[in-house]
Amino acid sequence: MTPKVAIIGGKGLMGRWFKRFFESQGLTVLVADKDTPQTPQEVARLADVVVLSVPIPQVEQVVRQVAPHLHPQAALMDLTSIKVEPVAAMLAHFPGEVVGTHPLFGPATKSIKGRTVVLCPGRGEQWLNWLRGFLLEAGAQVKITSPEEHDRLMALVQGLAHFVLIAVGATFRHLGADLKELEDFATPTFRTILDLTRHHLSQDAILYACIQLQNQANLSVLSGFEEVVQRLVHLIHHQDAPGLIRLLEEARGWICGGEG
Amino acid sequence: MTPKVAIIGGKGLMGRWFKRFFESQGLTVLVADKDTPQTPQEVARLADVVVLSVPIPQVEQVVRQVAPHLHPQAALMDLTSIKVEPVAAMLAHFPGEVVGTHPLFGPATKSIKGRTVVLCPGRGEQWLNWLRGFLLEAGAQVKITSPEEHDRLMALVQGLAHFVLIAVGATFRHLGADLKELEDFATPTFRTILDLTRHHLSQDAILYACIQLQNQANLSVLSGFEEVVQRLVHLIHHQDAPGLIRLLEEARGWICGGEG
């Protein structure tokens, strides 16, 4: 059986990415978005697998709209970067199979080969197993975990990593740094950080604000980072060489193995 | 004329790197370090170009030791990551030509081709011009600036970039993050930041503590970063979506061009 897939929000960057991907694997894909001939409800009714590719704050509203129209044997999945609330919303409003899904890559990715997709089982195993096998067959790596564990890990993998790049970019602006001049004097490390910062900030500000704001696990990670930043600035301000060297060596032990 | 070069601190990683480099370009290189048959004073006496490749806090002391032994027509240069104090120390204790030098790459670099070397003229032009031509001939990019301007730029290029990586590593330790688990769930951005952090922390803790502590221009940059981090955490803590989106868009304007 070749399942029919409906992508709701299928005109967005990730929606278009997954349309191409599913089609390249031989599936039939229906697409609904704000300006499509078919409505979300219509495509939801016709599909075996309904994929929500909508911004995080819209997940619950779209779930409420489409859930009553899904076939009872269909699967409902999302593609958002957080999993606790979206999976809870899908479970609350749709009584069938639910799979929270988070592709750990962006729409500029050429192929799914070697990329990771996280699956958070919501309800049921039939479609979960199909999706897992389908992704593995296409060359993806699949990680299966709970929504809570996913969000806890993403608070570091996305929350902290994005936060740092946003903070670096905002610091350049805050200090009025001349980036052309800095590029002339760039070390390889600085060049990599600047490229990451530029790449990150060039993308959808609303999406990245959502990733910061909507993962409830972020705040304790970001507060931890803030504390460490304050401690480091304090050590440097007070020219505390032994304290700074100790902090560097302890971090090295943790990150690089050894005495940590 | 083929100048004879003396490298003091020639057994360290950068000292060995520059010994190989100078020799590969046909120069004769003498080396002195703590455990070499020849003392720093002896090699200094015999050389046309005396290169100090010693830790930042030792520059002044080594300058005092060797300066009286240099030929009056010789050049004195250093290789440290900050320039204001080392250049001032060389100028104060040696009356001949002085060139502050900062290679913007580490000892793992294979070739100088395409890499940047900053030169800060201290006194005299003969050896400065020779060094500039010699580096350009070998394929390096050469930037010439004042020690003050160098340190101001390096507070961002090295001070801030290293600080961020140290803070990320120390945050992983602070939060007890399981790095093996995080690697399984890594996005490409996270993987790059983790690799940079690990690479940075695996190196000489004392060197990187010095780079943080000895550049007088760092503190205002790092305090600026701390302020931005606090502002961002505040916005996220208060779920201020419009404020966060505005900050992201302003940073984007500055970094990526456009409205900044």
A207 CB near a chain B CB, below 8 Å? no
- Residues in chain A with CB shorter than 8 Å from the CB of B201 are 248, 251-252, 255-256
- First-to-last C-alpha distance (Å) of chain A: 52
Give the pair of three-digit tokens for residue B91.
Answer: 């100028």
Show residues of chain B in contact with A249, CB under 8 Å.
205
- What number is the average pLDDT over the span B112-135? 97
At residue B260, the pLDDT reads: 38
Is B251 in CB contact (< 8 Å) with chain A? yes
Smallest CA–CA distance, residue A36 to chain B, in Å, is 28
Domain boundary among B125, B145, B165: B145
What sign has the CA pseudo-torsion B31, B34, B36, B41?
Answer: positive
Distance in Å from the first CA to the final CA of chain B: 52
Q: Do B251 and A208 touch (CB under 8 A)?
A: no
Alpha-helical regions (H) of A67-204: 84-93, 126-137, 147-154, 161-175, 179-184, 188-201
Q: A252 at the B interface (CB within 8 A)?
A: yes
pLDDT band for A260, please (50, 70, 90 cuts).
very low
> Does residue A20 share a domain with residue A114?
yes
Tell whether A173 and A214 lie within a shared domain. yes
Within an 8 Å CB–CB cutoff, is residue B207 touching chain A? no
pLDDT at res. B10: 85
Using CB atoms, pick whichever of A170, A189, A251 lies closest to residue B201.
A251
List pLDDT tens digits, range A181-204. 999 999 999 999 999 999 999 998
Distance separating alpha carbons of residues B69 and B43, to the nearest angstrom: 9
For residue B159, is pLDDT > 90? yes
Domain match, B64 and B97 both: yes
Asked if B156 and A173 come within 8 Å (Cβ–Cβ), the reply is: no
Alpha-carbon dihedral A32, A33, A39, A40, rounded to 10 degrees: 70
CB-nearest partner of B174 from A161, A228, A244: A228
In the predicted model, what is the mean pLDDT of chain B? 96
- Tell me how far apart the alpha carbons of residues A219 and A205 are, in angstroms, rounded to a whole number: 19
Least confident of A33-37, A48-52, A130-134: A33-37
3-state secondary structure of B207: helix
Q: What is the CATH number of the domain that holds B236?
A: 1.10.3660.10
For residue A118, give the chain B residue with the closest CA: B185
Write out pLDDT tens, residues B48-95. 999 999 999 999 999 999 999 999 999 999 999 999 999 999 999 999
Indicate the DSSP class of residue B61.
H
**Same-domain status, A88 and A156:** no
A210 versus A257: which is more confidently predicted? Answer: A210
> Which one of B115, B152, B158, B201 would you mutate to disrupt binding with A, by most A Cβ within 10 Å of its Cβ?
B201
pLDDT > 70 fraction of chain A, expressed in percent and rounded? 99
The stretches of A147-187 forming alpha helices (DSSP H) are: 147-154, 161-175, 179-184
**Predicted pLDDT at B259:** 41
Do both B129 and B72 map to the same domain?
yes
> Which helix (DSSP H) or strand (DSSP E) does residue A116 occupy?
strand A116-123
B237 and A221 in contact by Cβ < 8 A? no
Q: Max Cα separation, chain B?
A: 68
Which of A102, A174, A222, A231 should we substitute to test contact with B (largest number of B Cβ atoms within 10 Å)? A174
- Cα-based distances in Å from B67 to A99, B5, B52: 72, 15, 11
Contacts with A63 (C-beta within 8 Å, 6 or more apart), sequence order: A52, A76, A89, A90, A92, A93, A94
The domain boundary residue, chosen from B145, B177, B192: B145
Cut 0.90: pTM above it? yes
Longest Cα separation, chain A: 68
Contact, B32 vs B7, CB < 8 A?
yes
Q: Which of A173, A193, A248 sits opposite B161 (nearest CB)?
A: A193
Answer whether B92 touches A (CB < 8 Å).
Answer: no
Task: Judge whether B46 is closer than 8 Å to chain A, CB to CB.
Answer: no
Q: What is the pLDDT of residue A125?
A: 97
Contacts of A182 in chain B (CB under 8 A): 153, 156-157
Range 2-31 of A in CB contact (< 8 A) with B: none
Residue B254 in this model has a pLDDT that exceeds 50:
yes
Q: What CATH code is carried by the domain that includes residue B13?
A: 3.40.50.720
Q: How many folded domains does chain B comprise?
A: 2
Q: Both A52 and A121 in a single domain?
A: yes
| pLDDT at residue A254 in the model | 96
Mean pLDDT of chain A: 96
Range of the domain at B70: 4-145
Average pLDDT score over residue span A110-133: 97
Question: Is the confidence at residue B13, as pLDDT, over 50?
Answer: yes
| Whether B30 and B83 share a structural domain | yes
Please indicate, yes or no, whether residues A25 and A125 belong to a single structural domain of this protein: yes
pLDDT confidence of residue A258: 54
- Give residue B246's pLDDT: 97
Q: How confident is the model at residue A257 (pLDDT cuts 50, 70, 90)?
A: confident
Say how many CB pairs under 8 Å bridge A and B. 252
Bridge partners (DSSP) of residue B119 are B101, B144
Residues B137 and B157 in one domain: no
For residue A259, pLDDT beyond 80: no
My answer on whether A16 and A135 are in the same domain is yes
Give A74-109 pLDDT, tens digit per residue.
999 999 999 999 999 999 999 999 999 999 999 999
Residues A153 and A216 in one domain: yes
Res B245 pLDDT > 60: yes
Sequence-ordered strand ranges (E) for A9-93:
28-32, 49-52, 75-78
- Where does a domain end: A96, A114, A145? A145
Query: For the residues A4-15, what does the mean pLDDT come to?
Result: 94
Same domain, B86 and B51: yes
- How does pLDDT run across B192-239, given as a tens digit for each residue? 999 999 999 999 898 899 999 999 999 999 999 999 999 999 999 999
Alpha-carbon distance of A119 to A99, in angstroms, equals 7
